[in-house]
C-alpha cells in the first residue's frame, strides 16, 4: 500500500532501459550484419572479402560458415549433449542424496561441487592437463573440464526443488503407503523433479555449448567446440563471416535461453557462471 515516488521510478526505468539497449543493440547489429551487405551500406573492413556488392541481402555467408565449421558445430552439440547425459546420470541421484544429508561431509561435498564456479576456468584446465597428461589430446579431458562447470547447475536445480517442497515428508508419506526405496524414487521423487530436470538440462546444454574459458586449453585440433571456431573466425575472417558465425551460435543458444526463461528457471540460473 504505497504510491511509488515518480522520480525514483523514472531513474530506475531509464537505467534499466539503457542496459536493455546495451545488451540488445550489438546482438541486433550482428544479426543484421550477417545477411546485409555491409559494403553496400558503406561499412567495410579491410579484411572484407570482395564479391556480391551488388545485392543488399545475402545469405551466402551462412552457407560458407556452415561448410567451414560443420565439424565444430556438430561436435559442440555432441559435447553439450554428453554433458546433459552425464549431469542427469551423476547430478540427479547425487543431488537427491545430498539433500538427504545421508553422510557426514555432505555439506562439504556440496560446497566443493560449486567451487569451480568461483575459480578461473583456465586454472582448472591447467590442473587437469597436468594431472592427466597421459590422455591429453583426447576429448575426454575437454568433457571432464566442462562437466565441472555444468554439473553444479544440474545439482543446484535438483537440490533447490527438493528443498523447496520439503521432499522428505513426501517420501515418508510414500514409504507409509508401502512404497519401497526405489519405487518411491521412481514414482514420487523423479516426477516431482521433472521441471527441475528440464530446466537443468537446458542450462547445462547452454553452458556447455557456449563455454570457452575451460575449453580453450583443453581443445585439440580435432575436437573443438563452437566458440573455439568463433575465435578462429574473429581472428582470420571478415566482418560478415564473423557475423554469420556468431548468428549461427545465437540461433542455437537464444532459443534455449528463452525456453529456460519461459519455464521460470530463474531460481536455478542465479548461480554465478564463469564466462
Partner 1 sequence: MREGLMLFPLLFVVVVLLLVPLGTLGWSSLREPGAAGGWTWENYARFFASASARRALGNSLGISLGVAVVSTLLCLAPAWLLAGRDFRGKRWVRAILTLPMAFSGIIIGFLTVIMLGRIGVVPRAFEALTGLDWLQGAAYGFGGILVAYLYFEIPRATLTLEAALRKFDPRWTMAAATLGASPWQRARLVTLPLVLPALLSTFAVTFGASLGSFGVVLVISRRVSLTPLQIFDEVFAFSNFEAAAAMSVVLVVLGFAMNFFLRGLASRLLAHRA
Partner 2 sequence: MTGSLSIENLSKHYGATAALQRVSHAFAPGRVTAILGPSGSGKSTALGIIAGLLAPDVGRVFLDGADLTRVPPEKRGFGVVFQNYALFPHLTVVENVEFGLRVRGVGKAERRRRAGEMLDLARIPHLAERRVHQVSGGEQQRVAVARALAIRPRVLLMDEPLSALDARLRDDLRAELARLLRELALTTVYVTHDQAEAMSLGHALIVMNRGRIEQAGTAEEIYRAPASPFVAGFIGAANVFPDAEKLSDGAVRLPFATFPANGTSPPGPCWAMLRPEAFEVAREDEPADFAARVESAFFLGAHMRVQLRAGDRPLTAEFPAGAVLPSSGSLRLRVRPGALYIRANPEP
**CB of residue 118 vs partner 1: minimum separation in angstroms?**
5
CA distances from 50 to 54, 61, 257 (A): 11, 12, 36
Query: Residues touching partner 2: how many (CB under 8 A)?
Result: 3
Distance, in Å, from the CA atom of 134 to the CA atom of 141, rounded to the nearest integer, reads: 10
**CB of residue 192 vs partner 1: minimum separation in angstroms?**
16
85 contact, one of partner 1, partner 2, none, CB 5-8 Å limit per kind: none
Give whichever of 66 and 263 is closer to partner 1, judged by the CB atom.
Answer: 263
**CB of residue 6 vs partner 2: minimum separation in angstroms?**
11
Residues 60-99 binding partner 2 (CB under 8 A) are none
Question: Do 215 and 275 form a contact (C-beta atoms < 8 A)?
Answer: no
Give whichever of 58 and 145 is closer to partner 1, judged by the CB atom.
Answer: 145
**CB of residue 138 vs partner 1: minimum separation in angstroms?**
14
The phi, psi pair for 57, rounded to 5°, reads -110, 130
199 contact, one of partner 1, partner 2, none, CB 5-8 Å limit per kind: none
Give whichever of 2 and 22 is closer to partner 2, judged by the CB atom.
Answer: 2
Distance, in Å, from the CA atom of 258 to the CA atom of 205, rounded to the nearest integer, reads: 13
Give whichever of 1 and 134 is closer to partner 2, judged by the CB atom.
Answer: 1
Residues 1-30 binding partner 2 (CB under 8 A) are 1-3
3 contact, one of partner 2, partner 1, none, CB 5-8 Å limit per kind: partner 2
Give whichever of 33 and 200 is closer to partner 1, judged by the CB atom.
Answer: 33
**CB of residue 72 vs partner 1: minimum separation in angstroms?**
13
**CB of residue 62 vs partner 1: minimum separation in angstroms?**
17
Give whichever of 15 and 173 is closer to partner 1, judged by the CB atom.
Answer: 15
Give whichever of 90 and 198 is closer to partner 1, judged by the CB atom.
Answer: 90
Cell numbers given for 120: 578461473
274 contact, one of partner 2, partner 1, none, CB 5-8 Å limit per kind: partner 1
154 contact, one of partner 1, partner 2, none, CB 5-8 Å limit per kind: none
The three-state DSSP-derived secondary structure of the chain is CCCCCHHHHHHHHHHHHHHHHHHHHHHHHHHHHHHECHHHHCCCCCCCCCCCCCCCECCHHHHHHHHHHHHHHHHHHHHHHHHHHHHHHHHHHHHHHHHHCCCCCHHHHHHHHHHHHHCCHHHHHHHHHHHCHHHCCCHHHHHHHHHHHHHHHHHHHHHHHHHHCCHHHHHHHHHHCCCCHHHHHHHHHHHHHHHHHHHHHHHHHHHHHHCCCCHHHHCCCCCCCHHHHHHHHHHHCCHHHHHHHHHHHHHHHHHHHHHHHHCCCHHHHCCCCCC
**CB of residue 143 vs partner 1: minimum separation in angstroms?**
10
Residues in contact with partner 2 by CB under 8 A are 1-3
Amino acid at each position: 500500500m504505497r504510491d511509488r515516488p515518480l522520480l525514483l521510478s523514472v531513474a530506475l526505468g531509464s537505467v534499466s532501459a539503457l542496459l536493455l539497449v546495451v545488451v540488445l543493440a550489438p546482438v541486433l547489429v550482428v544479426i543484421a550484419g550477417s545477411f546485409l551487405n555491409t559494403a553496400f551500406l558503406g561499412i567495410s573492413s579491410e579484411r572484407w572479402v570482395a564479391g556480391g556488392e551488388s545485392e543488399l541481402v545475402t545469405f551466402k555467408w551462412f552457407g560458407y560458415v556452415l561448410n567451414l565449421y560443420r565439424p565444430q558445430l556438430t561436435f559442440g552439440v555432441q559435447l553439450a549433449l554428453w554433458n546433459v547425459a552425464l549431469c542427469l546420470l551423476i547430478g540427479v541421484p547425487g543431488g537427491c542424496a545430498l539433500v538427504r544429508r545421508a553422510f557426514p561431509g555432505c555439506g562439504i561435498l556440496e560446497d566443493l561441487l560449486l567451487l569451480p564456479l568461483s575459480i578461473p576456468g583456465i586454472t582448472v584446465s591447467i590442473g587437469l592437463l597436468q594431472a592427466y597428461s597421459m590422455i591429453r589430446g583426447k576429448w575426454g579431458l575437454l568433457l571432464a573440464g566442462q562437466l565441472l562447470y555444468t554439473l553444479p547447475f544440474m545439482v543446484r536445480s535438483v537440490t533447490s526443488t527438493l528443498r523447496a517442497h520439503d521432499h522428505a515428508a513426501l517420501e515418508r508419506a510414500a514409504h507409509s503407503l508401502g512404497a519401497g526405496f526405489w519405487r518411491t524414487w521412481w514414482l514420487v521423487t523423479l516426477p516431482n523433479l521433472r521441471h527441475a530436470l528440464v530446466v537443468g538440462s537446458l542450462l547445462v546444454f547452454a553452458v556447455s555449448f557456449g563455454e570457452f574459458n575451460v575449453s580453450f586449453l583443453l581443445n585439440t585440433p580435432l575436437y573443438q567446440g563452437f566458440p573455439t571456431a568463433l575465435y578462429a573466425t574473429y581472428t582470420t575472417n571478415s566482418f560478415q563471416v564473423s557475423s554469420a558465425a556468431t548468428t549461427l551460435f545465437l540461433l542455437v543458444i537464444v532459443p534455449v535461453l528463452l525456453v529456460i526463461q519461459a519455464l521460470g528457471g530463474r531460481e536455478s540460473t542465479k548461480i554465478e557462471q564463469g564466462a
